[in-house]
Amino acid sequence: MLSDYRLQITDYRLRITDYGFLQSAICNQQSNKSMNKNDFQRFVEYLMSKNQVIAPQHDVEGYLHLKELKETKDLYLGTELPLDSWKWYLLPPDLKMFEYQKNDFNPIPPIKDKLILLGVSILDLQAITLLNQVFEKDWYYQEIKKKAIVIGTSFVPEENFYKFFEKFEENKLEHLQFDIFLAVQKKGYQIFTGSEDGQRLLDKFSAKGAVPAGRQGSASGGGFADYQHIEYAGPIREEGLDPQMVAIKDAMQNRHNQKIWDDLGKRCMQCGKCTIACPVCFCFRMYDQSGLGLGSRNRCWDSCFYNEFTQVAGPVPEAPKHRFFNTTAQKIYFWYEHHFVRTPQSFSLPGCVGCGRCSRTCPADIDIFTTIKEILKSKK
């Protein structure tokens, strides 16, 4: 059962992101820059009254998913990660890009109203930060990003893969992109903002009288000012590239162990579930729909495990179509190589945030953490 699945690592902890939290002193002490639990509930109610709010919620079977929040009692903010990721809303699985009719070309805006993404974990914030780099020049992604308010939280998975003892507002949050961040405290949340949109949202919330007058902020009388603003400093930390990312990349490039991929190829079912669950898998394909005088172009998710992904036309119509990947071992190596070699090369960021969703959803029980451990053990 997915709900019973627990990733077990004995002598190796994947530290690709190093963004996990033990609740450090800054989280355990009540700060002046904070929102108590009653204020927070009013804040959520305010968000729901004005916008569509997407947040983690348990379904009737106990699985945690992302869906529109209708009642505050259904909101889950805790250490469990939802099975699905936030890319469902930032990078929709099937998007109509434009319609055309004869000489007319009509681009279709991907989103109309503001969207609140509430309860984004620190791991998923890193995934969003990477997607922001990948789709920096993509008009459709950027239009959604403009309308989306990302509200992160400091909760981490119960497995505690990561250890964190630094002041995260100085060393972590400045390298993540968000609008508001909720740092868990005993009596509520310490509030950080990462954008002007986040600040404006808090200002409007307080101006509506949702927060007691004594907690309203600035001398000018407007806005909830009990927050600290974090200026985004870019995705790469001052100390340079992530050393674990560099080590994995070096091992895959210079110490190739074919046995790892052959063994995984015997187990993998090529179902593509890992690519759907992964918060940073972003491959897509384009297709057209046409009718009488009217057509549209669409973009949908794709997976490198599907046969059509690397299929090209043959030299003549009668010839079989050529595929660049003919074995499961080739496909699964390509997936790992994309995450741990090409993404670091292109963006200087890890292509894996360590959320474990791929392992949780894999019907063959392929565990990415165990695989990375084997890669690092490979010899020349």
Euclidean distance between CA atoms 210 and 35, whole angstroms: 12
Q: What percent of the chain has pLDDT over 70?
A: 80
The mean per-residue pLDDT over the stretch 48-70 comes to 96
Alpha helices in 188-287 (DSSP H): 196-207, 243-254, 258-267, 273-277
Average per-residue pLDDT in the chain?
Answer: 83
Give pLDDT, residue 211: 53
Q: Give the confidence band of 159 by pLDDT, cuts at 50, 70, 90.
A: low
Give pLDDT, residue 195: 95
This prediction's pTM? 0.84
User: Is the per-residue pLDDT at 32 higher than 90?
Assistant: no
User: Is the per-residue pLDDT at 380 higher than 90?
Assistant: no
Give pLDDT, residue 222: 44
Helices 368-377, 258-267: axis angle to 10 degrees equals 160
Euclidean distance between CA atoms 323 and 314, whole angstroms: 9
Give pLDDT, residue 28: 42
Chain segment 99-129, per-residue pLDDT in tens: 988 788 888 999 889 999 999 999 999 999 9
User: Is the per-residue pLDDT at 168 higher than 90?
Assistant: no
User: Is the per-residue pLDDT at 58 higher than 70?
Assistant: yes
Q: Give the confidence band of 97 by pLDDT, cuts at 50, 70, 90.
A: very high
User: Is the per-residue pLDDT at 293 higher than 60?
Assistant: yes
The closest alpha carbon to 355, from 69, 125, 185, 75, belongs to 125
Euclidean distance between CA atoms 88 and 279, whole angstroms: 9
The mean per-residue pLDDT over the stretch 253-268 comes to 95
User: Is the per-residue pLDDT at 158 higher than 70?
Assistant: no
